[in-house]
Chains A and B, each alone.
Chain A
Amino acid sequence: MIDQAPAIVLLAPFLTAVLVVLVGMKYERACFPLVLLGLSFSVAAAVQTILQVVEAGTLRYYMGGWPPPFGIEFRIDGLNALVALTVSTVALISAVYSKNRVPEENGDKISIYYTLLLLVVTGLLGMVLTGDAFNLYVLLEVSALTSYALIAMGTRRATVAAFKYAIIGTIGASFYLLGVGYLYIKTGSLNMFDIHEVLVAEDLHRSTTVLVAFILITVGVWIKMAFFPLHAWLPNSYTFAPTTTSCLLGPLVTKVMVYVMIRMMLTVFDPVYTFVQLNWGDIVVWMAVIAILVGSLSALAQTDLRRMLAFLIVAEVGYMVGGVWLANTAGLVGAIYHLIADVFMTLCVFLFAGIVFAKTGKREITATHGLFAKMPLTMAGLAVGALSLIGIPPTAGFFSKWYLIQGGMASGHWGYVVALLISSLAMAVLFFRIFEYALFGVKPAEGHGDHHAGDQGKFSEASASILLPLMGTASLVLLIGIFNQSIVSIITDFLVQFNLADPMFR
């Protein structure tokens, strides 16, 4: 069964999703253990896959036994394997978190909720693993449809956001599909690697159609990943969705789309094409700079905790897009490493927001007042995530920022470097504001703070199923930071084939 691992990564959550519907009709309590089981299988298979990739290089799995380009293949290299493991791990963690929260937030639809949760994970994993451009679209839609539903299950503002997301998301996905069509009309192939071969072999890189295909795919993916100025759908969606939803979607969706962008830029189109021939690096990096600044400064202006975090996602997407378009090894290593690190950092802070909401029933940042005394473990978890977002060693965020800044300096994009530093500061301000509330309680200016804290201050740490995911994520953030070398070595092994050290990439 070991050589089936790549398929199991995906099939485990997928089949569980179907089973959950069936079992959930009769035994609602059995849903949660099933979900855990399915996702654990997925994580185990992902670990197995990554071990195989590290050991033996690229792994190929032909769906239906048809070799590409006739059939659909999974071609798993270091990048896929890493992202897949990340996705399945995060899914597992947020599933654990959802145990107590789903009955509270969507009590009448527990099995439906879990099914959607597993399906969105299936879609994301499928996007990560597949080597077929069209198949990616199908799985993109699987994850998109589930996201709409998961978000729409929140408050009534979430429904509005979900509709907006559905419209914008469909535009993005359709652009992507159109781009694939434009590639198909020129190459006649759908397999990503085969498309690349044809593009190179027939020197199609000069064709207008390929250029338009590139623009369409890039813009489509940017819409889906909420890259400024295409981010309008994101903040409200993640703010008003059920907390379990935002813990799952917030960290994953945008990052997986960043993965898709990297895959498209490097594997389908050639780095020589995307970076040298088009030479849009400057423009895109400047757009990323604006994204970073707008994201982090808008985050400063928010009073709603999750909305603030949502804007941070916008900034983080700017980091990654900018990092990729720096077009050098350090930048790409930084972007990919940040992709992985950021998934866990974001999960960490979203879990915290979820806990705060669960405990206080409030969405505002001020809801954190006095939490240091009441929930020290929770605050410790947040502290790790926050330090990582700010970029304090030895958390993961520091190392990604290190590589990104290194890349920015190496390619002379000083604006990007400055933007990174400013956004670090903005995040520092943001999180220390939270720490202050947590440390001091209500604003001292209001005077009667102590009574206030005393009134509703009877709660303590959340239950284990809510707290454990946070602790787990926090320790993962630390571990990813500490063992950054092994992750980075996988990434650099992946990047070697593109020969980015070539002087033409600056």
Chain B
Amino acid sequence: MELLKAIVGGMNYWIFIILMMIGLYAMITKNNLVKKLIGMSIFQTSILLFFISLAVKEGATIPILHHDQAHAKQGDHGEGGKHSDPSHKGKEAASAIEEGKEKPSVSHAGSSKIDPDRFTNPLPHVLMLTAIVVGVSTLGVALSITQKLYTEFGTIEENEILDQLKSGDD
């Protein structure tokens, strides 16, 4: 059972490669411009799949703190805010990070409650949010170029457009 799970898990990487190949192949060889763009979207999502896959942690949950955890932290923080000079505290936190290699978390009392292994890695998620947005933007721009091509050539088949260009009526 465990082995099977591992294979299925590893399968994500396989599927990512397969999807990427499908997308790339479509981008290169499809004749229809819209098909090319669908291929492009598949290509991009395959990369997203890769990034999200590498963020997965066995036995970890979504990267959002529980309400009670968050509440405890915020309460803790709120007290700190009342007692100490606020600007000083911010500086302190920053300088703690600056110090570098050793886990910065030890510098702050109470943070040891959060076990990093309990949450998935949030960073790839952030990156892929950006990548999704980039993907849809590219798609939008490319589709608008497609439409412009259609108004100018009356077709969205690449070979027909190239034929028209070759016949030299530019």
Contacts and interface: CB of A to CB of B under 8 A. Distances in A.
Interface of A: 65-67, 70, 134, 137-138, 141, 144-145, 148-149, 152, 155-157, 159-160, 162-163, 166-167, 170-171, 174, 177-178, 181, 184-185, 190
A157 B165 contact: yes
A181 B50 contact: yes
B19 interface: no
Mostly, the A contact residues are helix
Given A163-B146, A171-B43, 12 more contacts: A134-B127, A134-B130, A144-B138, A145-B137, A160-B162, A162-B145, A167-B27, A167-B40, A170-B27, A170-B142, A184-B54, A184-B124
B21 interface: no
B89 interface: no
B94 A160 contact: no
Given A67-B97, A181-B47, A181-B51, A166 B142 contact: yes
Interface residues of B, number: 36
Contact of A156 (B36, B40, B134, B170): B170
A304 to B, nearest CB: 11
A156 B141 contact: no
Given A152-B145, A159-B148, A177 B165 contact: no
B44 interface: yes
Contacts of B22: none
Contacts of A157: 165, 170
A188 to B, nearest CB: 8
B46 to A, nearest CB: 9
Contacts of A162: 145
**Residue of B124, B148, B161 with most partner-chain A CB within 10 A:** B148
A145 B136 CA distance: 11
Interface of B: 20, 24, 27, 33, 36, 40, 43-44, 47, 50-51, 54, 94, 97-98, 123-124, 127, 130-131, 134, 137-138, 141-142, 144-146, 148-149, 152-153, 161-162, 165, 170
Contacts of B141: 145, 148-149, 166
B170 A155 contact: yes
B88 to A, nearest CB: 15
B24 A171 contact: yes
A174 B44 contact: yes
Nearest to B148: A159
Contacts of A177: 47, 131
Contacts of A65: 94
A70 B99 CA distance: 13
Contacts of B149: 156, 159-160, 163
Contacts of A163: 33, 142, 145-146, 149
B35 to A, nearest CB: 11
The 10 A-B residue pairs whose C-beta atoms are closest, nearest first, are A156-B152, A141-B134, A185-B54, A166-B142, A163-B145, A159-B148, A152-B145, A145-B141, A181-B51, A67-B98
B47 A178 contact: yes
Contacts of A155: 170
A289 B72 CA distance: 65
25 contacts: A66-B94, A67-B98, A137-B131, A137-B134, A148-B141, A148-B142, A149-B141, A155-B170, A156-B149, A157-B170, A160-B162, A160-B165, A163-B142, A163-B146, A163-B149, A167-B36, A170-B43, A171-B24, A171-B27, A171-B43, A174-B43, A177-B131, A181-B47, A184-B51, A185-B54
A338 B47 CA distance: 35
Given A177-B131, A181-B47, A166 B145 contact: yes
A252 B170 CA distance: 28
A134 B54 CA distance: 16
Contacts of B162: 160
B13 to A, nearest CB: 10
Contact of B40 (A170, A181, A184): A170
Contacts of A66: 94, 97
A105 to B, nearest CB: 16
B27 A178 contact: no
B22 to A, nearest CB: 14
B33 A156 contact: no
A156 B147 CA distance: 12
A162 B149 CA distance: 10
Contacts of B145: 148, 152, 159, 162-163, 166
A423 B145 CA distance: 36
A134 B126 CA distance: 11
Contacts of B131: 137, 177
A152 B148 contact: yes
Nearest to B51: A181
A439 B165 CA distance: 34
Given A65-B94, A163-B149, A138 B134 contact: yes
Nearest to B123: A190
A94 B51 CA distance: 39
Contacts of B161: 160
A441 B74 CA distance: 80
Contacts of B54: 181, 184-185
Nearest to A180: B127
Given A156-B153, A171-B24, A141 B148 contact: no
A181 B49 CA distance: 11
A178 B50 contact: yes
Contacts of B146: 163
A178 B46 CA distance: 10
Contacts of B50: 178, 181
Contacts of A171: 24, 27, 43
A184 B44 CA distance: 17
B98 to A, nearest CB: 5
A340 to B, nearest CB: 29
A232 to B, nearest CB: 11
Contacts of B124: 184
A174 B47 contact: yes
A237 B32 CA distance: 20
**Residue of B40, B51, B123, B145 with most partner-chain A CB within 10 A:** B145
A166 B138 contact: yes
A162 B161 CA distance: 13
A400 to B, nearest CB: 35
